[in-house]
Amino acid sequence: MLKKMGKKMTLLLMIILAFSIVLTACGGEEPEGNGDKNTGQKGSSNGEKTVQDIKDAGKIILGTSADYPPFEFHALVDGQDEIVGFDIEISKYIAEELGVDLEISDMDFDSLVTALGSERIDMAIAGMNPDPERDVNFTDIYYEANLAVLVMKDNPHNIEKEEDLKDKIIGVQIGTTQEDVANDVEAEEVVSLASNYDLVMNLKTEKINCAIMEKPVAESFAKANDDLIAVENLEIDSGTDGVAIAVKSGNDELTEKLNEILAEIKSKGLIEEWLTKADELSSEEI
């Protein structure tokens, strides 16, 4: 009886040992997949989302701030609210060239850089100046524009030249180059607001004396509002070369691909065509 029990115990120990060897072998295998071996996520060697990743996902996510006509704004299209504009046409073209769908994420302008860093969006196109202090990659310039000053039509504060901005209450969109410009002219107060629509409302209710905007934006608001004008012959150097597309810092591959597409857009003369159409539509909608 004791001998039989000993044989059974030996057999059981052998089974346990064999099973443990199998588990050890399985646990030592490298994980499969094309991603980083530590994270399992797809991406380039430096962890950035590649052009192929975007194609595999079947979409490119655009971050924008749709309060900036004619660059991007809301309009009724066939009875439906849509985000349209010059920048949106550029985005659609990019998506088409990559063979993917375009997904639009509308947010406050000053949230775009953070959204790029956390990869909630793939690119930001929002009339953004390539400020070196923004921690992003910028493409080549796709449009150049100076700044203009929007005032009430009767211009009660007699703003005719840049020097007249001194000691005025100036409205700007928060996080923009215009904010820096306003701070440099010795204004009485700089009022930074989330959207250009807020600036127009504050201008009409006399909470600000004027608003500094990109020239096409100021002109669009003036066309759509009989009581507003962009001050004639007053252009302010933005201190930048123009506007560009932003992508996550370090993502050189996507930056280069977007530069290729922008060069194609420019060579076809589409920039002027899209801007004209967007300007006409914004005059009707805002």
Cα 211 to Cα 150: distance, rounded to the nearest angstrom: 5
Are 132 and 270 found together in one domain? Answer: yes
Q: Is residue 35 part of a domain?
A: no
Q: Are residues 121 and 245 in the same domain?
A: yes
- How many domains are there within the chain? 2
For residue 129, give the amino acid letter: N
Do 104 and 61 reside in the same domain of the chain? yes
Reference 247, options 52, 48, 35, 47; nearest CA is 48
Give the CA distances from residue 252 to residues 18, 125, 249, 256, in Å, rounded to whole numbers and listed in that order. Answer: 51, 17, 8, 6
User: For residue 144, how many other CB atoms are within 10 A of its CB?
Assistant: 10
Q: Contact at 8 Å (CB) between 198 and 215?
A: no
Average pLDDT on 55-70 reads 97
Q: Which domain holds residue 199?
A: 147-230
Q: Is residue 209 part of a domain?
A: yes
The pTM for the full model equals 0.75
Write out pLDDT tens, residues 75-130.
Answer: 988 889 999 999 999 999 999 999 999 999 999 999 999 999 999 999 999 999 99
240: its two tokens: 């930048």
What 3-state class would DSSP assign to 269?
Answer: coil
**Cα–Cα distance for residue pair 173/199, rounded to 1 Å:** 7
Distance (Å) of CA 216 to CA 66, 186, 219, 235, 282: 15, 25, 5, 11, 11
Mean predicted confidence (pLDDT) in 190-210:
96
